[in-house]
A and B are shown apart, each in its own frame.
Chain A
């Protein structure tokens, strides 16, 4: 990412600092202490803590997430991607209907898309039936929904940049010059 060259030197430095913090947090999925970030950036802990607080307050950082491979647990989690075609509403576009959809806790993500359909919805549930019924009973009947297409996830290989069954090991010698 490039930080705009027209900005003042001080402002640019702050933005680059913030950008570096975001990159580290993103890479470590939020699971890293402020002290460690400070050491990695050659600054002090308080400065990092202040920056993160500001990023949280400004809704740049909107949350932290643990990536779970549910297949390794006893819990059954069914994930589905649903394509929705929508009639946008006058004056409100897709936002109003999007809001009515994302308010459901079952909806894990919602994106407005270009191309063959309009909204991409990710739903999580305990069973396929539960997910299918949610689509049939909650999404499909909405006035502006023209059509739905439900795709169930069979296996997750990679999520948020993390490969679930990564078998790349450190095969280097213990010492080389």
Chain B
């Protein structure tokens, strides 16, 4: 019999197995659990997008596309980014269509990270950057962002962590799990630290359209001098409610994009064709749908923040994505304990902040990609739970 432990890659074996898998499994099996635990929109993909996908199938568009993605889609991506955010990219050489934003993140890390290179990762953050860095032979260097700084990355924190091995900075804003954002001024300050260095930037802007302050989203590549060192990752999952279609893209300097395309070409070939046709429709005629969903998230955002504050938890006001990140330290429990007990006693599923890095300890991530009724019921149960467990 084969001893798999002996033959498999030690790097893969040693990857964190998403520590809270067990907790997720219990939640998944609980039939009457009410959840604020999901990292994707509750909206179904707008009908006109779905219809465009169906139409492409009817027309028999069932073949591979160019490795980089359909040129019509790449052109639409460039038009969209110019129109919405005022950044210009060349459709032929500076865009790569990927299988979700996640693939683009992986490609960028693998393209620039050499064994031993350090990758700076502001935490709390989405869970993929660290393992992908490790698989590329890099060394993840977490930077702890704080609630009192609105979970922004401060230039002083960045400076402190830069060494001569620093290769890449991840900028995960608007942020999952905190909902924190970086304003243009915040990014200018970061850019100031980077100028004159060769440090590259992976700006994960998958939640870019979901901003709730007057100042809209500004891609990091738009900041003076940052374009040449930045790969912007975006996609269709969040803004267009297209998670299941698995479609994202990377925007960046031609030379980097062409190297990323090499990995993509051998590992993936091309992103799903149906999804690509649907995405053209999304970019060309769904501005109103996106705005309507954003508006709806904004109502829920205010509602849920208000709810957490009313029950006496400190809750930082998130200005992006669709998460709130209330602090549960007043209960004296760890995040994980809190979530386990909440699930057990009140049948509400939320995610421990510690799943997103050590600095997430003491917080829980609650998604508001749910109907107001669902949020209301969940808040009611959480309030009961918090009252029962808060140290007097």
Contacts and interface: CB of A to CB of B under 8 A. Distances in A.
B44 interface: yes
Interface stretch (A37-45, A115-123, A141-149): A37-45
A176 B39 contact: yes
Given A36-B372, A40-B372, A168-B44, A176 B38 contact: yes
Nearest to A175: B37
Contacts of B28: 173-175
B303 interface: yes
A39 B307 contact: yes
Nearest to A42: B302
Given A36-B372, A168-B44, A174 B24 contact: yes
A170 interface: yes
A24 interface: yes
A75 interface: no
A174 B372 contact: no
Nearest to A23: B295
Contact of B351 (A39, A40, A177): A177
Contacts of A39: 302-303, 306-307
Contacts of A175: 24, 27-28, 35, 37-38, 349, 351
A172 B40 contact: yes
B127 interface: yes
Contacts of A42: 302, 306
B299 interface: yes
Q: Which of B18, B299, B300, B349 has the most CB of A within 10 A?
A: B299
B306 A174 contact: no
B33 interface: yes
Interface residues of A, number: 15
B109 to A, nearest CB: 18
Interface in A156-177: 168, 170, 172-177
A171 to B, nearest CB: 9
Interface string B337-370: 0000000000001010001100000000000000
A36 B37 CA distance: 23
Nearest to B299: A40
Contact of B42 (A36, A172, A176): A172
B126 interface: yes
Given A40-B300, A168-B44, A174 B35 contact: yes
B300 A176 contact: no
Interface in A98-112: none
A65 to B, nearest CB: 20
A24 B299 contact: yes
A39 B300 CA distance: 9
A174 B33 CA distance: 8
A40 B303 contact: yes
Nearest to B126: A177
Interface in A40-55: 40-42
A172 B302 contact: no
A22 to B, nearest CB: 13
B98 to A, nearest CB: 19
Q: Which of B18, B38, B295 has the most CB of A within 10 A?
A: B38
A23 to B, nearest CB: 8
A174 B299 contact: no
Interface in B33-70: 33, 35, 37-40, 42, 44
B303 A176 contact: no
B368 to A, nearest CB: 11
B37 A41 contact: no
Contacts of A24: 299
Contact of B38 (A36, A40, A174): A174
Contacts of A168: 44
Contacts of B126: 177
Contacts of B372: 36, 40
Q: Which of B126, B300, B303 has the most CB of A within 10 A?
A: B303
B28 to A, nearest CB: 5
Contacts of B355: 177
A29 to B, nearest CB: 14
Given A39-B306, A177-B126, A172 B300 contact: no
B378 to A, nearest CB: 12
Given A168-B44, A175-B35, A41 B351 contact: no
A42 B306 CA distance: 8
Contacts of B33: 174
A85 B303 CA distance: 50
Contacts of B176: 177
A173 B18 CA distance: 16
Contacts of A41: 299, 302
In the complex, the 5 A-B pairs of residues with the closest C-beta atoms, listed nearest first:
A175-B37, A40-B299, A42-B302, A39-B303, A174-B27
Interface of B: 18, 24, 27-28, 30, 33, 35, 37-40, 42, 44, 126-127, 176, 295, 299-300, 302-303, 306-307, 349, 351, 355-356, 372, 376
Interface of A: 23-24, 36, 39-42, 168, 170, 172-177
20 contacts: A23-B295, A36-B372, A40-B299, A40-B372, A170-B42, A172-B40, A173-B28, A174-B27, A174-B30, A174-B33, A174-B35, A174-B37, A175-B24, A175-B28, A175-B351, A176-B37, A176-B39, A176-B40, A177-B39, A177-B355
